[in-house]
Amino acid sequence: MSSQPEPQITVLDAGGQYTHLIARRVRELGVYADVRPAETAAAELAGRKGVIISGGPASVYEDGSPKVDPGLFAAGPAVLGICYGQQLMAHLIDGGSVRQGEHGEYGFAALRIEQQAPLFEGLADEEPVWMSHRDQVDTPPPGFAVLASTGTCRVAAIGDAARRLYGVQFHPEVVHTPRGMRVLENFLFRVSGCLNDWDPRSRIAAIEEEIRQTAGNRNVFFFVSGGVDSSVAYRLCLRALGKDRVRGAYVDTGLMREGETAYVRDALGVDVVDANAQFLSALTGVTDPEQKRHIIGEQFVAVQDRVLNSGHYLDGDWILGQGTIYPDTIESGGTAKADVIKTHHNRVAGIQRLIDEGRIIEPLTPFYKDEVREAGREIGLPAELLDRHPFPGPGLAIRLLCTDSDAAVRPAEGGWILPVRSVGVQGDSRSYRPVLAFDEAPSAELLGRAVHAVNRASEVTGWWRGAEGIRRWPASRSGARRLPARGWKDCAGPMRSFGTRPGGQGSMPRPGSSRSS
């Protein structure tokens, strides 16, 4: 028994950073979906009930831009193109055309339903949607009707009911499109004819059997971070193989929350490896987040090698366990077309070598974060561990935004533009731009204008709540227990934990608290 059924829906990845979110939304509706490259042959998808083509940062007119097999549109499965997917559909089907846009549109729009269709069953005549595009469809292919429009996008949705082909320029998968899940639900059940077949809680027995098959006679050694993914993977391996065959160690990097190490040690019963000095020394003076991620990933590998060599873990009887989940590869630009937003520390070169050597067991790779939490609840992990605020492997090294510049803070409406930059996503591409700070929790009206401006500006792509989070660290400061600050001049960071204390329930920050968006 496999830990997942045959997919009814395949999401073709055209390089969009929302690709895995689309598949996750489909699964939330009770239908199993997988993600495949855009160029997957139509013949390989003939057994699917439906196919969704994702958005992406490219233009259909660019050399090397993602393409799908044109035979897909006559292969039988229903097809939904989202954003770039709609443009690609119009571009590849004879008679359609796409217009190159001069200015991008990133933000809310009012969608007007021009013609009723199964895709929009249950929607009002006008709905708020989220746009993130530059190009747009100019002429739909023959047989397609224009189903919806916005004030700036004449062809915001198209459909050919006879061939079950639909396209939308907006993003139904994001929370900023309030009725987007209804659009996806309509595509799954009214257009594609899917059946409910997916509940991650019912897959526990299958996961444990796959663990036993993968491990064989070998034992499993885990480096447990204390996060949801590694904790659930570790506990599943314990259940499948028994405590005599599974060992766990927690690496204290010096970059964690106050009390984190003691909480993880007590909650999971793992050994603690003190690597503070190694990580803080390697990170001295580094401000770029991607460089930090690579350094931290390689330091993790170095610590792992040292720990593995200190025992009998390399004698062939042991393999390395990890809590890698389905989206981790796309976050590292895991497809040929995706723009790198951040590098996942489970996929740096050192870890990839272990994978190539067949010394890795990753029982959660088919699952999304919410599905991992559901599995964790099913096997009895405490809510305090599963529901607390997420914390990345790179820890505070990434959460603390730093710069080596002495640039001044610049005033802006309701706050300041800080001389630090933060990684974000804009139009399916990675952005790394200045942060907008407020000295107190902004009003809904001001926050709405800020979001509108952020998503249309090339200068600012995020905001930081709480000017009290701005600190100046002297260049001579060194050896900080929790803050690798030596040589770093300006840091924006939390004055207090913006999650919860270890063992506490996860929560949003209170008004005025420091948090990066």
Q: Is residue 450 pLDDT above 80, yes or no?
A: no
* Paired tokens of 465: 């709540």
Residue labelled with tokens 């939390």: 494
Residues 149-203 pLDDT 10s: 998 899 999 999 999 999 999 999 999 999 999 999 999 999 999 999 999 989 9
Tell me which of 277 and 450 has the higher pLDDT.
277
Contact present, 449 and 486 (Cβ < 8 Å): no
Looking at residue 330, its pLDDT comes to 52
Mean pLDDT of 423-427: 65
Tokens of 511: 């008004």
Residues noted as catalytic: 83, 171, 173
CB 85 within 8 A of CB 135: no
| Mean pLDDT in residue range 53-66 | 90
Q: Residue 83 — very low, low, confident or very high, per pLDDT cuts 50/70/90?
A: very high
For residues 481 and 443, the model is more confident at 443
Helix (H) or strand (E) holding 445: helix 444-454
Return the higher-pLDDT residue of 458 and 114.
Answer: 114
Residues contacting residue 319 through CB under 8 Å, at least 6 positions apart: 215, 218, 219, 220, 221, 358, 359, 360, 361
H/E element, 444: helix 444-454
Instruction: Specify the pLDDT at position 1.
Output: 55
Q: What is the pLDDT of residue 354?
A: 64
d(CA 319, CA 316): 8
Q: Is 412 left (phi over 0), alpha (psi -120 to 50) or beta?
A: beta
Predicted confidence at residue 114, as pLDDT, reads: 96
In the prediction, which pLDDT does 442 show?
65
Q: Are 363 and 207 in contact (CB under 8 A)?
A: yes
* Nearest of 355, 352, 344, 361 to residue 247 by alpha carbon: 361
Are 66 and 58 a contacting pair, CB within 8 Å?
Answer: yes
- Number of neighbours of residue 32 by Cβ within 10 angstroms: 21
What mean pLDDT do residues 484-509 have? 31
Residue that is written with structure tokens 């200045």 in the block: 434
**Mapping DSSP to helix (H, G, I), strand (E, B) and coil, where does residue 136 land?**
strand
Q: What is the dihedral of CA 304, 310, 311, 315, to 10 degrees?
A: 70
Residue 333 has a pLDDT of 44
Q: Which long-range contacts (CB under 8 A, 24 or more apart) does 90-96 make?
A: 90/137, 90/138, 90/139, 90/140, 90/141, 90/144, 90/158, 90/167, 91/60, 92/67, 92/68, 93/141, 94/141, 94/142, 95/139, 95/141, 95/142, 96/137, 96/139, 96/140, 96/141, 96/144
Across residues 343-371, what is the average pLDDT?
73
Residue 426 has pLDDT above 90, yes or no: no
Q: Which DSSP letter does residue 188 get?
A: I
Whether residue 469 has pLDDT greater than 70: no
**Mean pLDDT calculated for residue range 102-114:** 83
Report the amino acid identity of residue 475.
A
- Res. 347: pLDDT tops 50: no
Please report how the helices 228-241 and 260-268 are oriented relative to each other, as an axis angle in degrees rounded to 10.
20
- What is the reported pLDDT for 226? 83
Mean local confidence (pLDDT), 237-257: 93
Q: Higher pLDDT residue, 438 or 3? A: 438
User: pLDDT class for 444, splitting at 50, 70, 90?
Assistant: low
Are 147 and 109 within 8 A, CB to CB?
Answer: no
Q: Using the structure block, give the residue that is written with the tokens 């060992």.
A: 247
Most confident of 416-420, 443-447, 471-475: 416-420
Q: Confidence class of residue 432 from pLDDT cuts 50, 70 and 90?
A: confident
What DSSP line would sit under 143-163, residue for residue?
A: T-EEEEE-SS-S-SEEEETTT
Question: According to the model, what pLDDT value does residue 407 have?
Answer: 83
For 80, 286, 329, 414, the CA distances from 166, given in Å and listed in that order, are 5, 47, 28, 43
Lowest mean pLDDT among 200-204, 454-458, 489-493: 489-493
Amino acid letter for position 420: V
pLDDT > 60? residue 482: no
CB-CB contact of 516 with 421 (8 Å): no
Q: Range with the lowest mean pLDDT among 43-47, 349-353, 357-361, 392-396?
A: 349-353
pLDDT, mean of residues 394-420: 81
